[in-house]
Structure 1
Amino acid sequence: MSYRLLIVDDEEDIREGLAELVDWESLGFTVAARLVDGRDAISYMQSDRVDVILTDIKMTFVSGLELAKYVYDGGHDTKMILLSGYKEFEFAQQAVHYQVVHYLLKPTRLPELVRVFKEVKLQLDKEKNEKEQMLSIQSQNEEMLSLLRRQFFAELLAGTLKERQEIDRRLPFIDLPLDPDSSPCCSFCIQLPRSKELAPEHPEQANSQFFRLIAQIYEKEQNPVHTIPVSVEDDMIVLAAVDCRASHSPDWTLKEAVHLQFETVKGRIRAIWGIEARLTRLTLAPSIMTMIAKQAREDSRQPASSEGDTPDTLVIQKAKAYIQNMYDKDILLEDVAEHVYLSPVYFSRLFKKQTGRNFTEYLTEVRLMKAMEYLRQPQYKVYEIGAMIGYKSTKYFFKLFKQYAGCTPSEYRNKLHDASGR
């Protein structure tokens, strides 16, 4: 990394000598400009980045100290190095006040100049690394905050987050000034028409691209209504919105804000992909707790699932569908949890509660049921079927099958053959 250096001195010999006699490149600097006066440097800084200024103190219009004051008052990151022909205490004192990093006396010896700029280079490198680390941490924090908000509202909409104590515990982590009892909220969908140009062979990839785009657009449209993209369902993006103002107006104002935000999103989608998005399924609620109560009433009217007394929530339905589609792959609990936007620990607990089985048990059952289907088809060899359902070890597949069915795969196929021959 080469840092940009301004050399400012009204004496041409000194100015040009400093620029030409020092091997700036080896020190990690590039002379961006050679200027006559401090006002030239100020003008230059208004349009170009400057990392270091090496300047004389006394100049005709704007002195080196005045230039240092400009840098200090403006909060610039530029390092100031002053040159002076005088050992005046007043100059040095002012230089310290303006956080000048070095004060060199004329005539300046080359070894001293090289030593000073090596120190400045180390200081700049350190600050650059610290800034990059800070930006990285900030980016990670923002990404985590976005994920926590998305997970919070995904669970609300799915009906898996409904206890007030748990909601209050998690609110500080999503950093939104909302009141569960009074902040108006809603859910809605953005429908995206498919076209042949938009990844027809990879709908999941297209959905992911759309989701990221919509999340980026809404990130810039978050005041005072916060809108959080939650999940992807077929050709629709599911979103939640909440009014975070201290005093809330009736629900129709949130509806109006959602429609206004959507017009911006719609315009940008049209500009980028040339398609017309639609806003659908807008459901308003006076508060989060009201929305939860409404969902609970709707769930109570749904028929129970065949696997138990409690119907599967949308999250569990989506998780099961993912497992049933991906059973032949090397999938982990973490993969399924990520697919439904939940933490692995929370998803594991929720899946067990909803289905009565843990993730591994359910995946094993799905695979072995599929194995039984393949065993009914004579074109498949018994030893091939294990790999077809996701097991690399034939021995392990045989062991699991016997535990589940009470016989080996070969015995199971023979029983099927005997039964059909009667």
Structure 2
Amino acid sequence: MAEAPYRLLIVDDDREVREGLVQIVDWGRVGFRVADALADGREGIAYLDRQEVEVVLSDIRMNFVSGLELAKHVHERALPVKVVLISGYQEFGLAKEALRYGVKDYLLKPTDLDEVYDVFAAIRQQLDQERSEVRRRARDKQRWQQTMDDLKLYYLPHVLHAAQLESEEIRRQFETIGVSLDPDSACCSRIAVEWDGPQPPEAVLRALQRSAADDDESLTLLPCGELTQPLRLLAVSAGSSQAQLEAALRDRIAHATSKLQGVFGLTLRSRLEEAHESLVHYLRRRQAEQAADRGEPQGAADEAITRWARDKRQWLADVGAGHLAPARRLLRDIAEFDQTGASASALRSKLIELFGSVEAVAEADRISDGLLRLCRSEAPAELLEIGLQLLDQLETADAPVESAERERSVITQVKRFIQERGGVDVSLSDAADLVYLSPVYLSRLFKRETGRSFSDYVTEIRLEQAARLLRETNLKIYAISEQTGYRDVRHFYKLFKSYAGCSPSEYRERRAR
């Protein structure tokens, strides 16, 4: 099936030139079609605000809005449009200035037809490459989503419950599956789900997870321990109160039941077992209980933790510097130390924690399969073999490569996406979809380019919107809280006070003076 031609917008205030470009040039020969021909840059800007084209061909000088201003408009808004300018010899200085706005090329008057074909043939080649890249990203995103489903099922629950992680590392682990949250404030609950019938727990879990993801991306469901009946789940929610989390859980279980009932005749029953004010609080308590169950003396546990922290730092430093030979040796030492206790579980937890801390692992789908194999393996020798294979794959993995210009464009698009929505109903996954990137890669790119995490920036935009509403409207504070995406007014008060240094009511009073 033939590819659709690329769309071209022609802008020139000289009617004869404009019509000549439309009628004389065989645009189909170089893979283009003329979407429209306009008489001024002002019309061109209005057109680009409502229509999509791949290329604009514009005169550099026009009566009202010049081609230079049109190029500036495209550049400042990071529109996915290439601009070619037509200029006279005396306007060569302007053409050079236009290069600052990312103008792709320029044609000199009088225009040579062969030059037009050469310029647009080169642009078509670049557009073909970009089109292929977009499709590749879409395929990668689909594979990524499949991997994320498996990571939620196997990897993340294991590393959270088995590893000693700091808050920032817990945050990063959740970003691996495209979820932005603050583990120190995200409340969580543990529930038990039961049903009558032979359906496997994994099928029920996937139905519940998809139900949560379809309607509420702030709610994440993870299994606790083995997949058996009753199925124990950890529900984590960012930006909700405990009461709201429990209400959302009831709603999601009812939703999943309606789906399972229609297909399998299943009815789910659930009960709340634990509720915690924060994910960190839950994990610390769970880890303390596990240590007590193992009967570990406090001194021995402290010594083991100190040794492990030292080994982990050294291993991550070696891998980060590309020194994979010493990383392999240390991996063997860790495995040998843990095998003395004949504990595959302890070794598995450590290897998962190590490789889960390496950014390249989360980005490469084929390497993430190794993480899943780690989660499933029960044999110490096999665990070590998988770990060494992961190191071999890291050595040859192709990390995503983005040009500086592309990275800036991506972040500009994402920030505009957040700002246009006032930060409300904006998720990392939505933003990643917009720019055809995986959530974890976008999260790190955003942090590197802006110095802030994605979730922190969204919160800032929401609170800026709240401050504006407090200044400019008479809306009740609870209404402003809801309008800016905070269903829990107490949580909104806490965030706003941290942002503005005072409560919402005090902020309004001060601005009214």
Q: TM range, normalised to the smaller chain?
A: 0.5 to 0.7
Q: Would the alpha carbon gap of residues 115 and 163 (structure 1) be closer, same or farther in structure 2, given more than 3 Å must change?
A: closer
Q: Per the alignment, in what secondary structure is the counterpart of residue 104 of structure 1?
A: strand
Q: 2:217 aligns with which of 221, 227, 236?
A: 221
Deviation at 1:125, TM superposition (A): 2.1
1:256 aligns with 2:243: yes
Q: Would the alpha carbon gap of residues 5 and 169 (structure 1) be closer, same or farther in structure 2, given more than 3 Å must change?
A: closer
* Aligned match of 1:395: none
Aligned mates of 1:6, 1:107 — CA distance in 2: 20
Q: State the TM-score, normalized to the length of structure 2.
A: 0.46
Q: 2:110 aligns with which of 104, 107, 114?
A: 107
| Higher mean C-alpha displacement, 5-14 vs 45-54 | 5-14
Q: Would the alpha carbon gap of residues 188 and 25 (structure 1) be closer, same or farther in structure 2, given more than 3 Å must change?
A: farther
* Aligned match of 2:306: none
* Aligned match of 2:286: 291
* Aligned match of 1:240: 234
Aligned mates of 1:205, 1:227 — CA distance in 2: 13
Which amino acid is 1:261 matched to?
A: A
Aligned mates of 2:52, 2:181 — CA distance in 1: 38
**Percent of aligned pairs sharing the same letter:** 30
* Greater Rg over alpha carbons, structure: 1
Aligned mates of 2:258, 2:12 — CA distance in 1: 51
**Deviations 1:206-243 (CA, angstroms, capped at 9, x unpaired):** 7587256325326x522xx6544679979987532346
**Deviations 1:267-309 (CA, angstroms, capped at 9, x unpaired):** 8669989979867232225421323555788999xxxxxxxxx
**Ranges in structure 2 where 5+ consecutive residues have no aligned partner:** 296-344, 346-368, 383-513
Aligned mates of 2:163, 2:203 — CA distance in 1: 35
Q: Per the alignment, in what secondary structure is the counterpart of residue 90 of structure 2?
A: coil
1:16 aligns with 2:19: yes
Q: 1:88 aligns with which of 73, 88, 91?
A: 91
Larger RCO (CA under 8 A, 6+ residues apart): 2
| Aligned residues between the structures | 295
Q: Per the alignment, in what secondary structure is the counterpart of residue 240 of structure 1?
A: strand
1:72 aligns with 2:66: no
Deviation at 1:58, TM superposition (A): 2.2
Which amino acid is 1:116 matched to?
A: V
Which amino acid is 2:373 matched to?
A: P
Q: Would the alpha carbon gap of residues 193 and 89 (structure 1) be closer, same or farther in structure 2, given more than 3 Å must change?
A: farther
Deviation at 1:122, TM superposition (A): 1.4
1:343 aligns with 2:369: no
* Aligned match of 1:117: 120
Deviation at 1:127, TM superposition (A): 2.9
The 5 A counterparts of 1:2-401 are 2-134=5-137, 136-137=139-140, 144=147, 147-152=150-155, 154-155=157-158, 162=162, 164=164, 173-175=173-175, 185-188=188-191, 207=204, 210-211=207-208, 213-214=210-211, 216-217=213-214, 220-222=216-218, 226-228=220-222, 239-242=233-236, 255-262=242-249, 265=252, 280-284=270-274, 285=276, 286-294=281-289, 343-349=372-378
Q: Would the alpha carbon gap of residues 164 and 64 (structure 1) be closer, same or farther in structure 2, given more than 3 Å must change?
A: closer
Q: State the TM-score, normalized to the length of structure 1.
A: 0.54
Aligned mates of 2:205, 2:23 — CA distance in 1: 54
**Ranges in structure 1 where 5+ consecutive residues have no aligned partner:** 195-199, 246-252, 301-312, 314-337, 354-422
Deviation at 1:261, TM superposition (A): 3.1
Q: Would the alpha carbon gap of residues 271 and 207 (structure 1) be closer, same or farther in structure 2, given more than 3 Å must change?
A: closer
Q: Per the alignment, in what secondary structure is the counterpart of residue 13 of structure 1?
A: helix
* Preserved contact between residue 10 and residue 60 of structure 1 (Cα < 8 Å): yes
Q: Per the alignment, in what secondary structure is the counterpart of residue 34 of structure 2?
A: strand
* Preserved contact between residue 156 and residue 292 of structure 1 (Cα < 8 Å): no
Deviation at 1:188, TM superposition (A): 2.3
Deviation at 1:135, TM superposition (A): 5.3
Which amino acid is 2:124 matched to?
A: K
